[in-house]
Structure 1
Amino acid sequence: MPGAALQSHRAGTRLRRWDPGRDRRRKGLRAAVNSVFGRLALVQRCQLHKRRNVIDHLPDHMHSFVAKRRERAYKMRDFGAAKHSLQDLAKSLDGHHPGAAASLREGLEETLTVVRLDLPPSLQRTLRSTNTIESMISIGRTTMRNVKRWRDAKMIERWTAAGMLEAETRFYRAQGFRDIPALQAALRSCLREVIGSEEEAA
């Protein structure tokens, strides 16, 4: 069946949508980030998307239990403890729900980047998901919805810019914006660590 993947679990069989194009775009974007920034890149996976991906592999009666354990880990202030908690959860799912366990393990540490950076909770809430980005994209799409024929790349660029300018009029201060200096300090610290380790290796 095109565009869908069939899953089985103890509660029965579930049909889950699968978008191969989305997977390719995600991998392409990640490859571009790695190509440009290398070891300097810090990636925060969207915790909300991870939640949906894991739930897709679980029967309904497991959703609440797994969600609570995962959210408890995401709210921990210690990176090691949060990582260990998620690994334990994945291990507990291995037996009957290996798909959910594999999904949870995939990019596990990158769902905890905001924890590893020890950012204030208010700023973590803003950076833990892609909601702010997707809001701008949604407004951009709405701005361009009546365009039926795209003549060339320049036209696409102009309309994209118009959509972003429209989105800008609806921007508001992000939660935790006063803690941006803490984010800057954490990033500088990571940068020093990477540079220091590279110098030692040389």
Structure 2
Amino acid sequence: SENAAVAQALLDNLVGRGLDPAVCRLFIIDGAKALSKAIRNTFGRDTPIQRCQVHKARNIAERLPKSLQAGVRKALRQAWELDDADKAEKLIRNLARRLERDAPGVSASILEGLDEILTVTRLGLPVELRRSLACTNIIENMNGTVRRVCRNVKRWQDAAMALRWTAAAMLEAAKGFRRLKAHKQLPSLRRALAAHQDRNAINHDLEQQAVAA
């Protein structure tokens, strides 16, 4: 699709400018399937992707009757605050089952992308760092600045012009950047990503040995 092509082109451009696809990174996205697919195509099928929990909760709540919204939001928050990813997943699945009768479409939506909604928990990150990295809020302010600056343009001449204005807007947004609240815990993210990469390397070796046998 067009969205998939755009997402892939974006990542190809980043790699072409020096982003090493062999380095294990945590990608935090809003839930776009095309972007998730492009990330895995570029950086590997086991690349950690965290889907924004704020977007997820909002999308679910908007499809529910008001009488159910508060309870569902509370259940999701409880799941996301757990240190045990398996227990968190079980809680979310139980929530989906409870909604099967009253809101079957929402029940399916809760389970959609479940493998990506608990990534920061599966990585074993401290709870404070999980709260910062479990959503895209850390870039929403920059996105808002880009929209505010670029809305002054009435006619876009070409892609180069769009890039220049976007870059100018990002420089403007950078003036208001602040440290991540849990920035002192970032070394734990590096360790978790290294461990994740090592585990998957071992699993791939075992798979290849099994195929060869």
Give the TM-score taking structure 2 as reference length. 0.81
For residue 109 of structure 1, the aligned residue among 107, 115, 121 is 115
Aligned length: 180
RMSD (Å), alpha carbons = 1.5
Unaligned runs of 5+ in 1: 1-20
1:140 lines up with 2:159 in the alignment = no
Shift of 1:53: 1.4
Three-state SS of the structure 2 residue aligned to 1:44 is: strand
Distance in 1 between residues matched to 2:133 and 2:63, nearest whole Å: 25
* Residue-by-residue CA offset, 1:159-185 (whole Å, 9 max, x unaligned): 111111111111001110000000000
Task: Quote the Cα distance in structure 2 between the aligned partners of 1:41 and 1:118.
Answer: 15
Residue 81 of structure 1 corresponds to which residue in structure 2?
87
Partners of 1:87 and 1:109 in 2: CA distance:
12
1:70 aligns with 2:70: no
- Kindly state the Cα deviation for residue 35 of structure 1 after the two structures are TM-superposed: 1.1
Match of 2:203 in 1: 197
1:57 Cα offset (Å) = 2.3
CA deviation string 1:102-121 (max 9, x = no partner): 11000113111111111111
The reply to whether residue 161 of structure 1 matches residue 155 of structure 2 is no
User: Does the residue aligned with 1:40 lie in a helix, a strand or coil?
Assistant: coil
Report Cα offsets for 1:115-162 as digits up to 9, x if no partner.
Answer: 111111111111111111221111111121211111111111111111
Identity %, equivalent residues: 40
**Shift in Å at residue 40 of structure 1?**
3.4
The one-letter amino acid paired with 1:151 is: Q
Match of 2:131 in 1: 125
Distance (Å, rounded) in 1 between the aligned partners of 2:207 and 2:160: 45
2:53 matched residue in structure 1: 47
Provide TM-score, normalisation by structure 1.
0.85
4+ residue stretches of structure 1 with deviation over 4 A? Answer: none
Match of 2:181 in 1: 175
